[in-house]
Structure 1
Amino acid sequence: MLAAHHDSLLAQGILYPTTCRHGDAHHVLVADLIDKYQANPMPDIWYGSFPRGEAWQRLRSELAAAGSSVHTAIVSSELFFGQSINIERMLGDIQTALAGHEVRILMYLRRQDQLYASFYNQDVKGARQWPGSAYEFYETHQIFQRDYDQVVDMWGAAFGHANLRVRPFEPAQWPDGDMVKDFCQVTGLPPLRAVGGEPNDGLGANQLYIKRCLNHIGYDKADNDRVVGLLLNLCSEPPLRTVRYVNMGCYGRLRQRWTRTNRRLGAAVGDGGNFFHAPVPEPAAVPEHALDRVVLSGFLQRLLRAGQAGHLQTVRGLFARAALLVIAEQGLWDAVPRADRVTLESWV
């Protein structure tokens, strides 16, 4: 949204830097810190043609060249608040890079059950190509290793709690339910109109499972969008909305932790009550992620027809391996004739 308003903002003395981003957001700033301080660097897809290791120097240079007509600069990336590994050292680098500037932090936090479900779905769907279960995901991903109030405290300690604003990602707490209006009010920016972005719906239940199987087989991250497009054509279903990816006991324990966190957060940066107006739902109120054998069988038949018609090209072998994994794990032997299984095996 801010990238689309670059020129009008600049005319009002507000810079949305252009030299330290790939795409509309400043993800490369965080990606360079991840490269420096974490064992697993961000894949090339986050950089495109942007050179690694240069983002912060480019930002400093752009700020220095901005001139006296610019009084405010804004950098934005959802990756900033998703880091926990070596976050203290990352924050130290950010402090050093922005030394001499008055720094204010605005953080939007999504209710944890929604964040967990969305993040898992998108990491399976996206170029990260997560192949494991939700249990493994929640236990190992760094974004879930610290509670929200801990993250807020760390950023507040680095830049001053008075310079930190924390807002709920909850339409009921935004003016007219509009996040752009909320953002402009909190930051003091002039009113901006929302700009429609590309939809990024999550996968449906069966699509998600098939994508996990594809991820388990493994393929080039550069092919991810193409693979997702083929999957959506071969297995059509609505995206998941409210869903529980873990059993009721696990979800219940997480819910207790989230509820305690949100009370602490509300006391620290909210109005003294729960930070989110809507409570985390009870386990029984959230449907569990479930597969449909009929939908999976239909996917397998459409896959066979597409492969025989030459529509899968270089990823036919990938889809064939994933299909055989689906058949084996879900016990779909009776749903797929032996001759069709032989065809799939011949594509491997």
Structure 2
Amino acid sequence: MLAAIRSRIEQVQPEDVLISAESFSVHGPQVAGPLFAALAGHPLRILVWLRRQDRYAEAVYKQTVKWNGASSNPDAVLRRIALQLNYEQLLVKWQEAYPQAEIILRIYEEAAPGPVPDSIADMLAVMGRARLVPQESAGHRRTGHALHWDSARRCPRPATREPEADE
């Protein structure tokens, strides 16, 4: 599959390539290693959307119940996703694994006040492709969760620090 992706990129020579996978956040940076190696020589931007931890935990729990068809122990679900809830550690691991990549951090805000945000439009804007957003784009996601337009943040490169005495 990686050879096919690389071949297609070389054939088409697009300005940008968007590869999206939820498994990147679940399995950590090592899962992207072969993909990034196949894309060596191309600039890399890693777009990360973070959700408030309590809302993320709630969403994971609901998905667990949905997949299993029965209720699950919330404490067991929290223990299973505990490392995913440490956003600082998650971002530092990605930056350390791929120092050549620019990490762009966005905040995923459900129920943001005001007009319904449009996550697809936001992603295209981050990529410098806002002109590709269809006019009816936001209307397709009025019932879903989306991003708040003003919540962009850039993740600084991790600084080397000494562990504190209580760590």
- TM-score in terms of structure 2 length: 0.67
Quick one: distance in 2 between partners of 1:107 and 1:268?
Answer: 10
Structure holding more helix per residue:
1
Provide the C-alpha distance between the structure 2 equivalents of 1:131 and 1:176, rounded to a whole number of angstroms: 31
Alignment counterpart, residue 126 of structure 2, candidates 163, 179, 186: 186
Q: 1:74 and 1:59, CA in 2 relative to 1: closer, same or farther beyond 3 A?
A: same
Q: Equivalents in 2 of 1:150, 1:83: separation in Å?
A: 13
Tell me the distance in 1 between the aligned counterparts of 2:106 and 2:38: 25
Q: 1:252-271, aligned counterparts within 5 Å?
A: 269=155
Distance 2:99 2:115 in 1: 27
Aligned residues of 1:103 and 1:163 also touching (Cα < 8 A): yes
Spell out the pairing of 1:147-296 with structure 2 (5 A cutoff): 147-160=86-99, 163-170=102-109, 172=112, 177-191=117-131, 192-193=133-134, 194=137, 196=140, 269=155
Q: What amino acid is aligned across from residue 186 of structure 1 in structure 2? A: V
Instruction: Please say if residues 95 and 158 of structure 1, whose CA atoms lie closer than 8 Å, have aligned partners that are also in contact.
Output: no
Moved over 6 A (4+): 173-176
Residues 1:92 and 1:178: Cα distance change in structure 2 (over 3 Å): closer
Corresponding residue of 1:105: 46
Q: Structure 2: which amino acid aligns with 1:159?
A: Y
Name the count of aligned residue pairs: 142
CA distance, structure 1, for counterparts of residue 114 and residue 32 of structure 2: 29
- Aligned twin of 1:145: 83
Alpha carbons of structure 1 residues 129 and 149: separation in structure 2 relative to 1, 3 Å = farther
CA distance in 1, matches of 2:103, 2:114: 18
Contact 2:50 / 2:106 at 8 angstroms: preserved in 1? yes
Find out whether 1:72 has 2:16 as its counterpart.
yes
State the partner residue of 2:149.
none
Contact conserved, 1:110 with 1:170, CA < 8 A, in 2?
A: yes
1:118 aligned to which of 59, 71, 84? 59
Q: Percent identity?
A: 25
User: Using CA pairs below 8 Å that are at least 6 residues apart, which structure has the higher relative contact order?
Assistant: 2
- Secondary structure in 1 aligned to 2:49? strand
Larger Rg belongs to: 1
Q: Deviations over 1:57-84 (max 9, x none)?
A: 33222212214xx221111122221224
Which residue in the other structure is 2:5 paired with?
Answer: 59
Distance 1:112 1:179 in 2: 19
Aligned equivalents of 1:158 and 1:173: distance in 2? Answer: 36
2: CA distance, partners of 1:269 / 1:175: 27
Contact kept, 8 Å, 2:52 with 2:108, in 1: the verdict is yes
Gaps of 5+ in 1: 1-54, 202-266, 271-348
Contact 1:120/1:134 (<8 A) preserved? yes
TM-score, with length taken from structure 1:
0.35
Deviations 1:245-271 (A, max 9, x none): xxxxxxxxxxxxxxxxxxxxxx9838x
Q: Flag the structure with higher strand content.
A: 2
In 1, Cα distance between the equivalents of 2:87 and 2:38? 25
- Structure 1 residues 116 and 161: alpha-carbon distance in aligned structure 2, compared to 1, 3 A threshold: farther
Root-mean-square deviation (CA), in Å? 3.4
Structure 2 CA distance for aligned equivalents of residues 95 and 113 of structure 1: 31
**Equivalent position amino acid for 2:130 in 1:** P
Alpha-carbon distance in 1 for matches of 2:116, 2:72: 39
Partner residue in 1 for 2:33:
92
Which runs of no fewer than 5 residues in structure 2 stay unpaired?
146-152, 157-167
